Chains A and B, each alone.
Chain A
C-alpha cells in the first residue's frame, strides 16, 4: 500500500533554512505529482506546493513563494521541500501527500507529518 514518510523537521531559528524529505513507496512515484501541505498548531490545513510527476512544473502558495522550493528525485522515490528565510509563522506540521489518480489537485494519501518549529 501507499506509504509516505516525512523527515527533516526540527527547531530552527528565524531566517535559517531547513530541508524536508518525504520517502515514498507502494506506488509508482515517478508517475504522480506530489504535494506539501502544512498545519500550524491548532489551525487548519494550508496547501504549500505541488510538483508535477517529472518536476517540469511547480506551484506554490503565495505565503511561501520565493522562499520555499519543492523538488523530487524519482530515482530515489523521494520528495523534498527546501525552506529558506524561515519565519515563526512557518511553524507547522508538514505533510507530503499523493494526489488522486484522476485529479492532480486533491490528496488521496498522506504521510504522518513532520513538525517544523521556527523559534529563537
Chain B
C-alpha cells in the first residue's frame, strides 16, 4: 500500500492564494486519479475536485487541482481566499484493492 502525505496545516489571508500538496509515497501519482474533499467542523466531507482537476457543479472556479509527476504529488489550489474556505482538506486516491486518504490539511483563513 502507498501513503498520501499532506501538510498538517496552512494559513493565509483573505484574497490570497494557497496551495495544498499531497505526495504519494510509492507508485506514480498519475497512475490513479486523485480526489479532494472539504470538511467543515461537524459535517461530512464534500468533493471539491475529482479526477485530478475537475470541479463538481457548485464548486467555485477558485478551486483547482493538478498533478506533478516530477514530485509525485497532487495539489489543490484555492485562489481569492474567503473566510468560508476555512476547513480541513483531504486528498484521496486508490490502488487495486484499497482507497487511501491523505492525513488532511487544516486551512486557516485569517
Binding site for B on A (CB under 8 A): 35, 37, 44-47, 50, 59, 61-62, 95, 100, 103, 105-108, 110-113
Q: Given the complex of chains A and B, what is the CA–CA distance between A95 and B44 in angstroms? A: 8
Q: Given the complex of chains A and B, what is the CA–CA distance between A79 and B100 in angstroms? A: 21
Asked whether, in the complex, the Cβ of B37 is within 8 Å of the Cβ of A47, the reply is: no
* Chain B residues, Cβ within 8 Å of A47: 92, 98-101
Number of A-B contacts (CB under 8 A): 52
Instruction: Given A44-B104, A45-B90, A62-B1, answer yes or no on A105-B99 (Cβ-Cβ < 8 Å).
Output: yes
Asked whether, in the complex, the Cβ of A44 is within 8 Å of the Cβ of B103, the reply is: yes
B45 proximal to A (CB < 8 A): yes
Asked whether, in the complex, the Cβ of A113 is within 8 Å of the Cβ of B44, the reply is: yes
Q: Distance (Å) between the CB of B104 and the closest chain A CB?
A: 4
Q: Given the complex of chains A and B, what is the CA–CA distance between A113 and B45 in angstroms? A: 11
Asked whether, in the complex, the Cβ of B101 is within 8 Å of the Cβ of A108, the reply is: no
Q: Given the complex of chains A and B, what is the CA–CA distance between A46 and B45 in angstroms? A: 12
Closest to A105 in B: B94
Our pick among A45, A50, A62, A111 for the contact of B101 (Cβ within 8 Å) is A45
B53 proximal to A (CB < 8 A): no
B68 proximal to A (CB < 8 A): no
* Chain B residues, Cβ within 8 Å of A108: 47
